[in-house]
């Protein structure tokens, strides 16, 4: 072995493709894979012999499927429990092959495997014919976005290698696939047990002139890269490793589509904040000028703005991401408990998590025969439903037909991913809910005969909500109490609302977003009472975001809302009305807040 050849060989890097093998239970998926491994010489030395020996020892006939079912309890049960991964290669490329369980109990494992596949092999037993999971798996593949499919009619040896039987199955299944808009690359008659038409052409079925399984696999194309589509990067995190001597503030994430360069104008959704790419950061290499789809990367920006993980970064010059809180989706459910209305779930899309409710069910589809069931009130296990979901806060997304990776989501129920789906349509912003609530409130409000102006003149002040926000433990409460005292001494009617006094953050429920959402709502309602009474209300809240700010402002209307940010971040968001640096001096801070309020004519001096 000369090292020179070794160096040369290194340059020849083979492509890699994920393939899923799906189909009804016992139709021969694992057998086909075992065959592919054996016939391409991809088994580790001695593996075939050791499994054969194991079978002999346990007086069971050897089956190719045993090669895969490496786990002990699987061999004894005879069914594949999870999507095993295995590897084989042809001269064209490497394959990662995923064996998807056909048993209905393990649909979630099939989906786990299939959601990462670029192409699929669907197997149908020649004797049993098209069964419920042949259809269900076909439907799931189309929903998961796997478009390259080849169908194998297996166990042809048991059907006497008859062309008629093969044609019968092809006809029936092709009708079904047409309904769900799948065009398979082809249909192959095979025998997994005997190896016909898998790696080698069948001698028994001369009537079949098409490709073998292996030839079909090599004909599949690599997933088309989304490089030409609009730029999307869900923000995964914002890093600042100051304590490790690094002052860069890096916006990190994986680019899901498009490409971007230094100097490009960008915009974040749903916040709508704009900025410009300053640098593209990498470890241990020269900084690149450009980053493309598929890369896990990081950026520094021209100016420092306050954004949160979960937003989608887009390019200003391209089609924007959608923003909304009412979405029409296609969803499949895998949870043991049905999905019901009125219960809160967690939606995960891109890098964003959001509280979500099932708003309405358009129809539920039984994927095994495509019969549609309307009037269903809940989505049961293994159902596929067209339904409308509602988030509390606006989320950013794309329609799945436009950009697949930012157009799909999962639903978490009881700590587990219980459903997945794709977005079909945006139905607008959910702000409507709060607006409607306010309309109702105004309508039902019993007004006194005193107007706000009457109170302003008496109290010699305008009613006002002051929210002091920022990180935890930065002195917000102390500042709020001092501000109250100072305003009071200056003759104002101010009241400090200690959050723990009035509101209960029910953290015991374990659902932070829900308690946070209702907390903001309560705070808004209480503020409205105080300001309606003509008072200045001062309160604190840790790190409120844009949507929460909007909610507070709307609920506190028509009185003013003034937000003060306390913290060490350098940036100033347009959201805050003013900012106080960390480690502030209390009386200086109170002084500058008072000046700012006066300058903005929020605090009017009536003492003339």
Q: State in angstroms the smallest separation of the CB of 280 from another protein.
A: 11
- Give 357's contacts (C-beta < 8 A, 6+ positions apart): 341, 342, 343, 344, 345, 389, 390, 391
Q: State in angstroms the smallest separation of the CB of 178 from another protein.
A: 26
| Residue 237 lies near another protein (rule: CB under 8 A) | yes
Minimum CB distance to another protein smaller for 313 or for 552: 313
Q: Which of 187, 190, 155 is nearest to 173 (CA)?
A: 187
How many Å apart are CA 483 and CA 54, to the nearest integer? 80
Spacing of C-alpha 599 from chain mean position? 45
How many Å apart are CA 370 and CA 357, to the nearest integer? 26
Would you state the structure tokens that stand for residue 526, as one six-digit string?
């209480």
Q: State in angstroms the smallest separation of the CB of 30 from another protein.
A: 13
Asked whether the CA dihedral 83, 88, 90, 96 is positive or negative, the reply is: positive
Select from 84, 185, 563, 590 the one that contacts another protein (CB under 8 A). Answer: 84
Q: How many residues bind to another protein according to rule CB under 8 A?
A: 72
Minimum CB distance to another protein smaller for 70 or for 373: 70
Q: In 123-200, which ranges are continuous DSSP H helix?
A: 132-144, 163-179
Q: State in angstroms the smallest separation of the CB of 84 from another protein.
A: 5
How many Å apart are CA 462 and CA 496, to the nearest integer? 16
Angstrom CA distances, 205 to 165, 191, 200, 296, stand at 12, 10, 12, 49
152-191 binders of another protein (CB under 8 A): none
Tokens 């950026």 -> residue: 299
Minimum CB distance to another protein smaller for 85 or for 183: 85
115-134 binders of another protein (CB under 8 A): 115-116
| Residue 608 lies near another protein (rule: CB under 8 A) | no
Select from 417, 533, 554, 572 the one that contacts another protein (CB under 8 A). Answer: 417
Minimum CB distance to another protein smaller for 36 or for 144: 144
| Residue 420 lies near another protein (rule: CB under 8 A) | yes
How many Å apart are CA 281 and CA 417, to the nearest integer? 33
| Residue 309 lies near another protein (rule: CB under 8 A) | yes
Minimum CB distance to another protein smaller for 116 or for 328: 116
Q: Which of 221, 252, 210, 222 is nearest to 234 (CA)?
A: 252
According to DSSP, the residues that pair with 188 across neighbouring strands are: 152
Q: State in angstroms the smallest separation of the CB of 397 from another protein.
A: 14
How many Å apart are CA 248 and CA 575, to the nearest integer? 23
| Residue 62 lies near another protein (rule: CB under 8 A) | no
239-278 binders of another protein (CB under 8 A): 239, 241, 244, 246, 248, 250, 252, 254
DSSP characters over 578-606: EEEESS--HHHHHHHHHHHHHHTTSS---
Q: State in angstroms the smallest separation of the CB of 317 from another protein.
A: 24
Q: State in angstroms the smallest separation of the CB of 283 from another protein.
A: 5
Q: Tell me which stretch binds another protein (CB under 8 A): 12-20, 179-187, 471-479, 587-595.
A: 12-20
| Residue 287 lies near another protein (rule: CB under 8 A) | no
- Give 305's contacts (C-beta < 8 A, 6+ positions apart): 273, 275, 571, 573
What does the per-residue mask of binding to another protein show for 21-60, with x meaning CB under 8 A?
--------------------x-xxx-x--x----------
Minimum CB distance to another protein smaller for 155 or for 249: 249
570-599 binders of another protein (CB under 8 A): none
- 556 SS3 class: helix
Q: State in angstroms the smallest separation of the CB of 44 from another protein.
A: 4
Select from 58, 91, 283, 375 the one that contacts another protein (CB under 8 A). Answer: 283
Q: State in angstroms the smallest separation of the CB of 294 from another protein.
A: 5
Is residue 591 within 8 A of residue 577, CB to CB? The reply is no
Select from 158, 194, 199, 282 the one that contacts another protein (CB under 8 A). Answer: 282
């Amino acid at each position: 072995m000369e090292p020179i050849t070794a160096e040369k060989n290194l340059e020849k890097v083979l492509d890699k493709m994920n393939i899923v093998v799906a189909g009804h239970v016992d139709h021969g998926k694992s057998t086909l894979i075992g065959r592919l491994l054996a016939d391409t010489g991809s088994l580790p030395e001695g593996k075939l012999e050791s499994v054969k020996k194991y079978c002999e020892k346990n007086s069971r006939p050897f089956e190719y499927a045993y090669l895969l079912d490496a786990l002990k309890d699987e061999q004894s049960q005879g069914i594949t429990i999870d999507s095993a991964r295995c590897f084989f290669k042809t001269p064209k490329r490497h394959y990662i092959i995923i064996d998807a369980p056909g048993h209905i109990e393990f649909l979630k494992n099939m989906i786990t495997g299939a959601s990462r596949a670029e192409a699929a092999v669907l197997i149908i037993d020649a004797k049993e014919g098209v069964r419920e999971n042949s259809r269900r798996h076909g439907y799931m593949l189309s929903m998961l976005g796997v478009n390259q499919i080849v169908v194998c009619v297996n166990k042809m040896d048991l059907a006497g290698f008859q062309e008629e039987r093969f044609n019968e199955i092809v006809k029936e299944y092709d009708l079904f696939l047409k309904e769900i808009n799948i065009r398979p690359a082809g249909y192959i008659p095979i025998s997994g047990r005997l190896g016909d038409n898998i790696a080698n052409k069948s001698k028994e079925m001369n009537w079949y002139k098409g490709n073998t399984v292996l030839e079909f696999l090599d004909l599949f194309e690599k997933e088309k890269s989304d490089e030409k589509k609009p730029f999307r990067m869900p923000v995964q995190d914002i890093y600042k490793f100051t304590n490790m001597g690094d002052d860069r503030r890096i916006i990190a994430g994986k680019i899901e589509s498009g490409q971007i360069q230094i100097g490009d104008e960008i915009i974040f959704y749903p916040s709508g904040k704009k900025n410009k790419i300053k640098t593209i950061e990498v470890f241990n290499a020269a900084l690149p000028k450009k980053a493309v789809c598929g890369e896990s990367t990081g950026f520094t920006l021209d100016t420092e703005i306050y954004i949160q993980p979960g937003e989608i970064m887009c390019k200003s010059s391209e089609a924007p991401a959608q923003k909304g809180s009412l979405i029409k989706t296609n969803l499949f459910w895998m949870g043991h408990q049905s999905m019901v209305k009125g219960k809160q779930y967690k939606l995960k899309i891109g890098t964003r998590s959001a509280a979500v409710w099932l708003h309405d069910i358009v129809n539920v589809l039984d994927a095994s025969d495509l019969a549609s069931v309307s009037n269903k009130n809940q989505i049961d296990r293994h159902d596929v439903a067209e339904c409308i979901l509602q988030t509390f806060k606006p989320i950013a997304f794309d329609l799945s037909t436009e950009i697949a990776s930012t157009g799909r989501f999962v639903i978490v129920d009881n700590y587990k991913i219980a459903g997945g789906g794709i977005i079909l349509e945006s139905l607008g912003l959910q702000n409507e809910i709060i607006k409607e609530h306010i309309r109702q409130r105004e309508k039902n409000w019993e007004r006194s005969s005193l107007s706000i102006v009457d109170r302003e003149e008496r109290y010699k002040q305008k009613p006002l909500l002051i929210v002091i926000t920022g990180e935890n433990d930065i002195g917000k409460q102390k500042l709020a109490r001092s501000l109250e005292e100072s305003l009071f001494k200056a003759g104002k009617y101010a009241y400090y609302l200690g959050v723990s006094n009035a509101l209960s953050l029910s953290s015991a429920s374990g659902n932070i977003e829900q308690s946070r959402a209702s907390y903001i709502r309560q705070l808004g309602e209480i503020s409205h009472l105080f300001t309606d009474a003509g008072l200045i209300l001062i309160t604190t809240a840790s790190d409120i975001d844009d949507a929460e700010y909007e909610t507070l402002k709307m609920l506190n209307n028509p009185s003013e809302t003034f937000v003060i940010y306390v913290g060490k971040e350098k940036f100033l968001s347009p959201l805050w009305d003013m900012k106080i640096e960390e480690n502030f001096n209390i009386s200086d801070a109170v002084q500058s807040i008072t000046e700012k309020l006066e300058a903005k004519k929020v605090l009017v001096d009536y003492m003339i």
